[in-house]
Amino acid sequence: MPKMKTRKAAAKRYSVTGSGKVRYKKQGLRHILTKKNTKRKRNLRHSGILSDAEAKKAKVLLPYNF
């Protein structure tokens, strides 16, 4: 049976933690930063964790990371 292919776009956006959760970088911190307050920008710096339902979808795209 051939190897399953990893979706490279998903591999660049998601990473898997040691406990198996899926981590992603939050959107909204690229441009137009002057109108966003400091608290909002600070919270956007931290990575987010996908919900269980979304992590199941990501598992299909990243077969060898789980």
What global pTM score does this model have?
0.84
Could you report the per-residue pLDDT of 32-58, keeping only the tens digit for each? 999 999 999 999 999 999 999 999 999
Q: What is the pLDDT of residue 66?
A: 85
In percent, the amount of the chain with pLDDT more than 70 equals 100
Q: In this structure, are residues 21 and 58 in contact, taking their beta carbons and an 8 Å threshold?
A: no
pLDDT > 90: percent of the chain: 97
Classify domain 8-61 at the CATH class level.
Answer: few secondary structures
* Domain residue limits, the chain: 8-61
d(CA 48, CA 33): 19
Tell me what pLDDT residue 3 has: 94
